[in-house]
Amino acid sequence: MASVSKQPNGGRVVQFVGSDRKRRSVRLGRVSSKMADSIRTRIELLDACNRTGQVPAPELLEWLAKLDDRFHGRLAAVGLVAHRAKKIKQAIGPFLDGYLKSRIDVGHATMTVWGQVVRNLKQHFGTDRDLATINAGEADAFRLFLVGQNLSSTTVARRLQFARQFFTAAQRAELCRINPFTDVRAKAISDPSRQVFVERETIARVLDCCDPTWRLLVTLSRYAGLRSPSETCSLRWADINWQANMMIVQSPKTAHHEGRGSRAVPIFSAIREELQAAFHRAPEGSVYVLESLRSRAMARGEWVNANLRTQFERIIRRAGVQVWPRLFHQLRSSCETELVRQFPVHIVAAWMGHTPRIAISHYLQITGADFAAAAAGRSAVDSTSGAGSDAEIVQSAVRPAAATLGQQPPRARFALENSEDWPPLASAGRYCTGVPVDRAGIEPATPGFSVLGYA
């Protein structure tokens, strides 16, 4: 049994008899009686584990891991624990550079974003700062440093998330005892001023100022919700099924997630004419729908170098339209906002290539047409131009596509095989046979039972 004694200078000491029957002492310094008793209990447990050869409980191991080197050394000096290995100082700069090089499982775009966070960390802490010496207070100061860079709240939250990820990797490599960013977070607040619904009339004016290639690019972004440039420039003629009114969209952004490399998307009425025109213009042997844009983008190495925004801004200004923020994101957002007026959100989100939660948080908008429809007592579907034709496009894709299911990728087959269960198709009544149903109902009659008033 261990005991606690108080020294003349006010410090406390825990004394116990070790397995060699020698009395050992562990100086605690000036601590409260309650804390001294807590440490005494843990010392007794460590001594018991040493005597019996048992492994300390997880709670005890966690307590040991959080001890500073000085007090841990006192426990090691009396034989309660093994001495810690001498720490090798790891500068933050070389560690972060090495971490980025080791992550061969992420795409170029992700690596670019991570590089921005690495640059911020080096600016704030310096490249030679020892990882193990950064504490939670300094992590808080880094958050304020990001705020001072006039970044949006969402960007600050994301960069803190990545900083937390980097230090978690350092902690797992035993380069630091704790992750100073564990509790350092920022709330991402959506900025309504950066949410713009691009009306069909507005995009029509823009399309009038586009050449054929750009006209197709903008149409696919606004009326099919494809990501630009990665998905629009990855669309192949072989992925388009004209008979089934459906196309398979390759998604480089989500390709590293299992089963999310591609998705089936209807060929909506607003894009069919442009696709057909592009098909007739395409040279013999063309593979990609936007061959010229893809060639220029990939010649520079990655989609981020496509530089579509500058040219798109010129086209928008030429049309006499004010340039809106997040050019291609708003086209995709506007497309999804219109589609959810016609189809359930889980279906539309699948067409867009994300989850309903992401759709609600980052894409769906409230428009003036919604207020006007509510004030007039109409459904929001009635306020969407072309709603009926898009619903028919989706319905017409069901039966013809069934004949070619074996030729489609797995994700396309899954979407088509389940399409007859979609609520929009059921509500439209397209598959009613027209045969009158008896008032007794359509279920087989139970012997000996009759409906009220009918045998």
CA–CA dist 348, 360 (Å, integer): 11
- Residue 445, domain member (yes or no): no
pLDDT tops 90 at residue 348: yes
Beta-carbon contacts of 342 under 8 Å, excluding residues fewer than 6 positions away, are: 381, 384, 387, 390, 391, 424
Phi and psi torsions of 396, nearest 5° = -70, -15
Lookup: tokens for 12: 């406390």
User: For 370-393, what is the mean pLDDT?
Assistant: 70
Angle between helices 308-318 and 212-223 (to 10 degrees): 100
Q: What is the pLDDT confidence band of residue 293, given thresholds at 50, 70 and 90?
A: confident
Residues forming a β-bridge with 246? 241, 266
Please report which confidence band the pLDDT of residue 66 belongs to, taking 50, 70 and 90 as the band edges.
confident
Inter-residue contact 383 to 393 (CB < 8 Å): no
Question: In the block, which residue shows the tokens 């004016």?
Answer: 205
Which of 189, 206, 229 corresponds to the end of one domain? 189
Are 232 and 273 in the same domain? yes
Residue 411 falls inside a structural domain: no
Domain annotation covers residue 416: no
Read off the DSSP letter of residue 132: G
- In terms of pLDDT, which residue wins out, 257 or 383? 257
Whether residue 415 has pLDDT greater than 50: no
For the chain, what's the residue count?
455
Mean pLDDT, the chain, rounded, equals 83
**Residues 163, 173: Cα–Cα separation, whole Å:** 16
Burial 101-121 (b: 16+ CB within 10 A, else e): eeeeeebeeebeebeebbebb
Q: Assess whether pLDDT exceeds 80 at residue 305.
A: no
- What per-residue confidence (pLDDT) applies to 1? 75
| Whether 269 and 121 share a structural domain | no
User: What single DSSP character describes residue 130?
Assistant: B
Q: Which domain holds residue 128?
A: 92-189
CA distances from 222 to 102, 228, 235, 311 (A): 37, 10, 15, 17
Adjacent-strand bridge partners of 361: none
pLDDT at 302 over 90: no
Indicate whether 411 pLDDT > 80: no
Are 260 and 280 within one domain?
A: yes
Residue 170 lies in a domain: yes
Residue 24 has pLDDT above 80, yes or no: yes
pLDDT surpassing 50 at residue 412: no
Instruction: Compute the average pLDDT of residues 130-135.
Output: 92
pLDDT score for 392: 61
Helix axes of 33-52 and 58-66: crossing angle, nearest 10 degrees: 120
Residue 443 has pLDDT above 70, yes or no: no
303 falls within a domain: yes
Nearest to 39 by CA among 7, 69, 72, 8: 72
Q: Are residues 28 and 96 in the same domain?
A: no
Asked if residue 183 has pLDDT above 50, the reply is yes
The mean pLDDT value for 73-84 works out to 88
Q: Is 322 within a domain?
A: yes
Exposure class string for 264-298: b at 16+ Cβ within 10 A, else e: bbbbbbbbbebbeebeeeeeeeeebbbbebbebbe
Q: Which CATH number do you get for residue 350? A: 1.10.443.10
Q: Tell me: pLDDT of 319 over 90.
A: yes
pLDDT tens digit string along 29-38?
898 999 989 9
- Please report, to the nearest 10 degrees, the dihedral formed by the alpha carbons of residues 380, 384, 388, 391 taken in order: -80
Spell out the alpha helix ranges (H) of 245-287. Answer: 269-281
Among the residue ranges 43-47, 156-160, 334-338, the one predicted with the least confidence is 43-47
Residue pointed to by tokens 């149409």: 219
Which helix (H) or strand (E) segment holds residue 6: the answer is strand 3-6
Q: Give the residue from 139, 167, 189 where a domain finishes.
A: 189
Percentage of the chain with pLDDT > 70? 81
User: Domain count of the chain?
Assistant: 3
**Is the per-residue pLDDT at 281 higher than 90?**
yes
Judge whether residue 317 has pLDDT over 60. Answer: yes
Is the pLDDT at 249 greater than 80? The verdict is: yes
Residues 6+ apart with CB under 8 A from 84: 69, 72, 73, 76
Q: Is the pLDDT of residue 431 over 70?
A: no
- Give residue 427's pLDDT band: very low, low, confident or very high (50, 70, 90): very low
Radius of gyration from C-alpha coordinates of the chain: 32
Looking at the fold, whether 347 and 214 belong to one and the same domain comes out as yes
Q: What is the DSSP letter of 91?
A: B
Say if residue 264 is in the same domain as residue 219.
yes
Looking at the fold, whether 105 and 159 belong to one and the same domain comes out as yes
